[in-house]
Structure formats: C-alpha cells, structure tokens
Structure 1
Amino acid sequence: MTAHPTSSSSLRRVAVAGASGRMGHMLIEAVRQSGDCQLAGALDMAGSSAIGADASAFLGAPSGVPIVSDLREGLKNAQVLIDFTRPEGTMAHLAVCRELGVQLVIGTTGFSDAQKAEIAAAAKDVAILFAPNMSVGVNVTLKLLEMAAKAMSTGYDIEIIEAHHRHKVDAPSGTALKMGEVIADALGRDLKQCAVYGREGVTGERDPSTIGFATIRGGDIVGDHTVLFAGTGERIEISHKSSSRAGYAQGSLRAVRFLADKRAGLFDMFDVLDLR
C-alpha cells in the first residue's frame, strides 16, 4: 500500500489488541504502511513473552511503541482500538475504552447475547464499529446473499458451509452466523428458530424453512464460506475465500477512518461501505 504524505496532526492514532498474534501482526503492519494512521498502542495478555518488546520489531522497523498488558497505559495515546481477540478480552477492553473515550473497531467473534447488549450500551458513550468480518469482500458477499435470498425465497434449500484453521475456537464462525442472519432477515425469519447446526442419525426429511450450517476445521485455512441455494434442477453457490488476513486488516483501517468524525453510536461494515 502506498503511503501518502500527511501531517502528524491528521494521523489517526491506533492501538492494536492481541499485538503479538497473527492478526495483531497483520494489523500493525497495515497501520505502519498506511499514510493516515499511526501506531499509538499495543496490548497483549499479562504473562505473554511479548510484553515489553517493540510492537513492530517483527517487521525489522521498530515503532517505539512497547507491547503492554496495562490497558490504560496501552490506550493513553490512542483514539481508536482495533480488537480481534477473545470475547472476555474484548469486554475488558470495552470497559476501559468507554471510560477513556477511545473508539473501538471490534472484529472479535463468539459473543453471547448479553455481551452484545453490553457493546450496544457502551456505544451510547463512544463510537464502536462491530462486525464479525472486516473484509470488504465478505461484506459485499453479505449484500449479494440478501439479494439472492429475497429472489429465491421459495423452492430453495439454504445451507452455509464454512472452513477455518485448526486453532479457531468458536463454531460456526461469526461470519457464517452473520450470513445466516442476513438471509433469515431477508426471508422474514428468526435465525434462532430456523437454524440447524448439526445432523446425525435418522433426521427425517429436510424442513424447507430451515437454514443449515456445516463447519470444517483443519490446517491453516484462513477462512472459506459458501452459501448453497439448492433448488430443483439447479444449485446456486455464493462463496468467499480468504487466502490472507490482509483483507481483514485493510477493512479494519477503513473502519478506523469511518469512525473519525463519530462521537458515539454502533456501526458495522455495511455503514462503512454504504451497503444499506
């Protein structure tokens, strides 16, 4: 990505949670390569071997920003925190960001309904962009799924198949669930009432009102999602496949830029990409 000249006063000051992880490294690299963002903080869990190290040392270009576990220390110079960690970590970050007035870009998945309600409550005080997938391509795919579901509301069985690396701890993926929600909303259904997450044994014939999910875990798959609309005599498949986390990082920076003039409110990538 080509960096464009800009004054230091116009740079968005960004902190990154999970700074020593794979996604953290991708986010830090994206921030460092951007022309309008500056790395202002780096967080990791207490006890991590990365604590105290320079956040961008892995790039061979020190940033002068140490990785810390103290949230207030890590956020003191930041305007916005990008968080792709675990629900319990994100909720701890949320409380401190709300207290300090630091905006949040949340890409973490696996939240409970109660935790989602807490995020919505915090958005009354600080601007939050919350999306299960920051990829521009995935969010365009969600829009295509909305259109497809409306056009194929009858006569088509809908199945969502997702595949991720062996280290992913939640299933189905947040992206797969979001796809299900978008489709269910377009059909006037409640995903909680029509989702089927597993099949085994004598299940009987498929209920045409259901939306099925299948989960694959293995290797280093970054993230593959396919939605199958199976009708009589034809099948339509809408797929998105990630070969790198770079798309998530670049989408996150678009989210950071979108929040620049927002004082409070809960937003998602449809807002960023004007897909409403």
Structure 2
Amino acid sequence: MQSEPAKTHGPAALPWSDLQSFLAIAESGQLARAAQVMGVDASTMGRRLRRLEKRLGQTLFEQSRSGHLPTSAGERLLAQVRAMQRAAEPIQRQPDAGGITGLLRVSVSEGFGTWIVAPLLRAFTAEHPQLTIDLAATSGFLNPSRREADMAILLARPRSGPVVSRKLADYSLRLYANPRFLAERPPIDSVAALAGLPLIGYIPDLLYAPELRYLDEIGEGLEPTLRSSSINAQYRLIAAAAGIGVLPRFIGDASADLVPVLPERQIRRTFWIVTHQDTRRLARVQAFQSWLIAQVEQQRERLLG
C-alpha cells in the first residue's frame, strides 16, 4: 500500500499572527527588533517562528552577523505574505464601532517631538482614547522600512526602501546665546568674531543624520568644543551661558533665556513624513498623519520664525 505524500500548509492555512511575525522578522532583519514592532517579547517571536518552520517543514531564515536573512523558501513565503497583507489592508483600515484601536509608534527627532508634537498630543489622544501611542522622540530615528515604527518624521527623504514619503514642513535654525554670555565679550558682528569662542553642537561621530552639521553652514572651519548628542542638552547649555550654538527657531525663539546671534545667518531644513507602503493606509496611521499635517500647518510661524 502506497503511503500518501506529506501534507504541507499554505500561508492561508497558517495562523495569521505567525505570518505577521514572520513578516516583521523579514522586514526588520532582527528577531528582537521584530518583537518590538509586534509588541511581544523576543521569546514569543522565536516560538512563533519555530512553529511556522515546523508546520511548513522548511527553514525560513539564515542567521548572520547582521541578523536574520530569508532563505529561498523564506523569500517565496515573504512574497505570499506581503500579498496577503495588502489584501487585508482594506479590512484593517476600517475602525470598529469603538473607534481606532491598537498601537501606533511614531519616530520623531528629539527637538521636534519635545517642542512641537508632545505639547499638542493630548488633543489627539482625547479623540482616540483606545489607541496606544509610542512617541519615540530620541537622538536618532526608527526605520519604517524595517517596521521599527509605523511612521517617522525624518530630516531627509528616503531614496530607497518599501516606504512612502511626503513633505511635512520646512523649518529654520540660527545661532543663539544667553545675553549674560554676550555681555562678557566683545560684540559679535561677523562670523569671524566667533573664532575662539566656546561653540556648542553635536558630537561629530554620533550624528544620526548629515543634516545636523549646522556649524559648517554658519562658517567654514567652525567646530563645537562643547558637544552633546541631545538637542535639548545643547539648549540647556546655551541657556546656561556656556557658549553659542545653533537651535531650531521653534526652540530658540520660545526661550526667554536666549537671543539670536548673527540673525541674518539662517539655516533651512525640511521634515518628511515616512510610512511603510504596506501599512500607510491603516486607520491609525492615516488618522495620525492627517492630524499631524493640520497641527504643523498651524505651527508654521513657529517653525520658520
């Protein structure tokens, strides 16, 4: 009697949570990072992956120094799961009767998140009380293309990756100092007068974006001697009369402890909204994006001065 061939499971017959976990690992490249995206611990992600591989009878990832790389079987499954994800989007976009729910993780720069987004966020949370929001306002960005965040507000438009981007707003920066610091020194009426003065800025080898090299645009050869990876720490140092530094105008102009230095020397930068192409139409993502665009439009004068 001839035995029947072993049965394999197609993606549609597998638990959707396992397939979503597989997708998160494939797109983030690391199991621990994927666990953060899915809101579970790494052991749960590992268990889901092992269960999925056992049911399929295939190894889906190879482990390398850089993380988890899909095998040929993993690549084939990835194409199928992405198609399933796109097909599920219309359902995911519809909020239930109780309103928008789930987790929304937004990555923003420390200054923009602290000084612009955080003070306004109460209105959005009041409108969507069942939505959990992670505001990752740090010296660095989470990567939407790797599903580290649902949305990121970046300083440059991404040139590649499975993401969709649009311009949010321009903003201006300029030099600031505490009046007490200026009173103890000769007048600063030119860039040349900055030579030899304590300048405050970013730590060069910890810059998370080249757009943060501000002093280069103020004057050639200017280098910070008091450095921090945090824009809020830089603000505190400038406000404490420790030196002169570049700040966004939405920080510098809002402080009673600061005055502009060489106000004609201004720098212009742009914020970009970036979302993953597979999740950008989710109700929670669209709701936050629409709200943020409207809020930033009202804050345009603060951003540009």
Q: What TM-score do the two structures reach when normalised by structure 2?
A: 0.26
**Structure with more relative contact order (C-alpha pairs < 8 Å, separation 6 or more):** 2
Q: What TM-score do the two structures reach when normalised by structure 1?
A: 0.28
